[in-house]
Structure 1
Amino acid sequence: MVSYKDILASNALINDATAPRVSVFVGGTSGIGKFTIKALVTTGATMKVYLVGRKSSEERMHAFIQELHAINSKAEVIWTEGEISLLAETQRVCEIIKSKESRIDLLFLTAGYAPFGPRQETAEGLEITQSLEYYSRMLFILHLLPLLGEAEAPRVVSVLGGGLERVTIDLEDLDLKKPGNFGVIKARTQFIPMHTTTMEKLANDNPNVTFIHSWPGSVNTGNVKRGNANGILRWFIWLTLEPLIFLFSTSDEVSGQRHLFESTSAAFGGHGILWNGKPGINSLEKPANGLFLVNYKCDCTPNAEVVRLLREKAQEKVWDHMQEVLRPYL
């Protein structure tokens, strides 16, 4: 476990020379993304942050941006509206950012929620939580990789469930379209390994970029309310899950500081804020750059045997399927 004291000490070293100069936060309108933006801006460093979110969040986010500017007048936070559950909208947002920037230092991805309700598809025919938590995130990465490649210490952090992979991925129904094949548990055990196998290939193909698949533990983000649950299930969530999350979750500030550490520390891959502690181990179980599966204690949890099996049996098929789905938007 990386002590919170050491995390704060590392984050205290972020300044004009070491901060990510240009960051893109997708899903930063609430929860972990929002907590991490605030932690980053509070460092007082000069920076530019693109905050991507839905039209319905715009008014609330303008108030948040004003709050951030009062904290740090050197931070330029740019609201970028987009309904990123739609891949066409994701593509549009990426094109806007690419037209304005020549490099990106940090891409931070958190969009999504727990799919407690029935299967719900977007206008593009994708299940909405899978689009948010997998396809849209991978599309952002693929579009912005050239800009990440121009940075000195580029990093991609995607917050979902790194280290919690299982080998129960359904390779015959990757989008869980078969009748009765979709539900919150099946979705979790499908999306997380798809995430890891794809990010590992991206990390191997782009060795200069640090990739982190983060499992945040219990954080009171409010995401359980966004799962389209109804009836008895909605009451169950309200009466049991929400109180449990409130009691045992990590605080907003601690979560933000931990994810800022993940976003900047050289503990992961050797690039970033100087780290004198134990180096992180990537998904190939090596102290080198690559994909890091990082838990809520900021420990690397390679889940080695499961990830090896996924690499051998699932990675190629998942990659090919993702390429087929995303091709029209690349």
Structure 2
Amino acid sequence: MPSLKEIRAANALINDATAPRVSVWVGGTSGVGKLTIKALVETGVSVRIYIVGRKSSEERTKTFTQELNAINPKAEFVWIEGEVSLLAETKRVCEVIRSKESSIDLLFLSTGYAPLGTREETSEGLEICQSLEYYTRILFIIHLLPLLQKAESPRVVSVLGGGLERSSVNTDDIDLKKPGSFSSTTGQIQYCHLNSIGLDWLANEHPDVTFMHTWPGWVNTGNVRRGNVDPNSWMGWIIWLVLEPLIKTFSMRDEDSAQRNLFQCTSAAFGGHGVPWEGKPGLSTLKKPEGGLFLVNYKGDCTPNAKNMATLREKAQSKIWAHTQSILEPYL
């Protein structure tokens, strides 16, 4: 496990040659994405950063980027409005980016929130957290892969629960639509597994791109308040009396989280040709330092989770990927 001191030392080596010169942040208007953008810009490098978010986030994001420009005038920010819980909107946003850029170095995906309320579907018929945490993330990757593959050291980072995979996943009701299938617990576990299974498939199909599924640990992002939970309901009271105090107590500092995530976005410890790393390299799901999906936790530990991932790959991956393709096909 790299220490925070080692991580900070590695991040101090980020320069114009090793930084992601063009990056796309889906979920960069708040939480881990926003913190990591700030850490990247504060290195002083020359970067172009696309931030995708809803209309309601535009003004505060504009204020945020103006503050960062005062720190680093070499940073360029491009705002793209989009309701990315919708697959049609995701496709449109990708078309805008593809019209502006010929290559992308980093795609950082951190949309979503804990599904603590009742099941809520988008106008496209998908449970909203599943759409944000899986389907639209995969769609972003597929649409932007041609640009990623033209970069020198492309990287895709999906932030959710990398390394927490169990040996089984619900393949009979992948979208948790049957009565009794969906709950806050089953939803979050299912979406975590779908991320790893889908990203593992893509990583093996595209070994020229570094794929990462990361688990940020406890970070006080306000995530538990983003769902459709009535604050006067029993779940609302649990969030206020139990979850929020627990998160505040055990969360790591925002700055520490930002540094750890920046390390994951830029370090050659996880494949590719990023910032040089002399420590022990991370191993992917293929148990190699190159190729395959990297599962990384909040400490920077990388685990292949070999036994569980092999079981999921053998017993569930083909069915889940076929189902994913059937959902995404109209938007490809």
Scaled to the shorter chain, the TM-score interval is: over 0.9
1:68 lines up with 2:68 in the alignment = yes
Q: Following the alignment from structure 1 to structure 2, what is the Cα–Cα distance between the partners of residues 223 and 47?
A: 28
CA shift at 1:270, angstroms? 4.3
Partner residue in 2 for 1:248 = 250
Q: Following the alignment from structure 1 to structure 2, what is the Cα–Cα distance between the partners of residues 290 and 311?
A: 12
TM-score normalised per structure 2 = 0.98
Conserved? CA contact 2:213–2:293, under 8 Å: yes
Residue from 259, 270, 281 that aligns with 2:283: 281
Partner residue in 1 for 2:171 = 171
Deviations, residues 52-98 of structure 1 (Å, cap 9, x unaligned): 00011111111001011111100001111100000000000000000
Using the aligned pairs only, state the percent identity.
Answer: 65
DSSP 3-state at the match of 1:52 = strand
Unaligned regions of 5+ residues in structure 2, if any?
none
Q: Which residue identity lines up with residue 193 of structure 2 in the other structure?
A: P
Which deviates further from its counterpart, 167-176 or 138-147?
167-176
Q: Following the alignment from structure 2 to structure 1, what is the Cα–Cα distance between the partners of residues 292 and 146?
A: 17
CA shift at 1:303, angstroms? 1.7
Deviations, residues 105-135 of structure 1 (Å, cap 9, x unaligned): 0000000000000000000000000000000
Conserved? CA contact 1:115–1:184, under 8 Å: yes
**Equivalences for residues 111-150 of structure 1 within 5 A:** 111-150=111-150
Deviations, residues 168-193 of structure 1 (Å, cap 9, x unaligned): 31111000000111011101221111
CA shift at 1:323, angstroms? 0.5
How many residue pairs get matched? 330
Q: Following the alignment from structure 2 to structure 1, what is the Cα–Cα distance between the partners of residues 26 and 320?
A: 23
Conserved? CA contact 1:217–1:296, under 8 Å: yes
Residue from 311, 314, 325 that aligns with 1:312: 314
Partner residue in 2 for 1:291 = 293
Partner residue in 2 for 1:325 = 327
Q: Following the alignment from structure 2 to structure 1, what is the Cα–Cα distance between the partners of residues 203 and 286?
A: 11
Q: Following the alignment from structure 2 to structure 1, what is the Cα–Cα distance between the partners of residues 253 and 108?
A: 19
Q: Which residue identity lines up with residue 268 of structure 2 in the other structure?
A: A
Q: Following the alignment from structure 2 to structure 1, what is the Cα–Cα distance between the partners of residues 53 and 316?
A: 32
Q: Following the alignment from structure 2 to structure 1, what is the Cα–Cα distance between the partners of residues 126 and 187?
A: 13
Conserved? CA contact 2:48–2:77, under 8 Å: yes
CA shift at 1:294, angstroms? 0.1
Q: Following the alignment from structure 2 to structure 1, what is the Cα–Cα distance between the partners of residues 9 and 52?
A: 29
Conserved? CA contact 1:168–1:190, under 8 Å: no
CA shift at 1:290, angstroms? 2.1
Conserved? CA contact 1:35–1:253, under 8 Å: yes
Q: Which residue identity lines up with residue 85 of structure 2 in the other structure?
A: S
DSSP 3-state at the match of 2:48 = strand
CA shift at 1:37, angstroms? 0.3
Conserved? CA contact 1:157–1:213, under 8 Å: yes
Q: Which residue identity lines up with residue 310 of structure 1 in the other structure?
A: L
Q: Which residue identity lines up with residue 47 of structure 2 in the other structure?
A: M
TM-score normalised per structure 1 = 0.99
Conserved? CA contact 2:294–2:302, under 8 Å: yes
Q: Following the alignment from structure 1 to structure 2, what is the Cα–Cα distance between the partners of residues 180 and 250?
A: 35
Deviations, residues 240-290 of structure 1 (Å, cap 9, x unaligned): 110110011011111111111000000001421111000101012222232
Q: Following the alignment from structure 1 to structure 2, what is the Cα–Cα distance between the partners of residues 193 and 319?
A: 12
Which deviates further from its counterpart, 63-72 or 284-293?
284-293
DSSP 3-state at the match of 2:228 = coil
DSSP 3-state at the match of 1:23 = strand
CA shift at 1:304, angstroms? 1.6
Q: Following the alignment from structure 2 to structure 1, what is the Cα–Cα distance between the partners of residues 168 and 114?
A: 19
Partner residue in 2 for 1:265 = 267
Conserved? CA contact 1:46–1:75, under 8 Å: yes
CA shift at 1:18, angstroms? 1.4
CA shift at 1:17, angstroms? 1.6
Conserved? CA contact 1:25–1:50, under 8 Å: yes
Partner residue in 2 for 1:23 = 23
Deviations, residues 296-326 of structure 1 (Å, cap 9, x unaligned): 1001022221111100001101110110100
Across the aligned residues of Structure 1 and Structure 2, the Cα RMSD in angstroms comes to: 0.8
Partner residue in 1 for 2:10 = 10
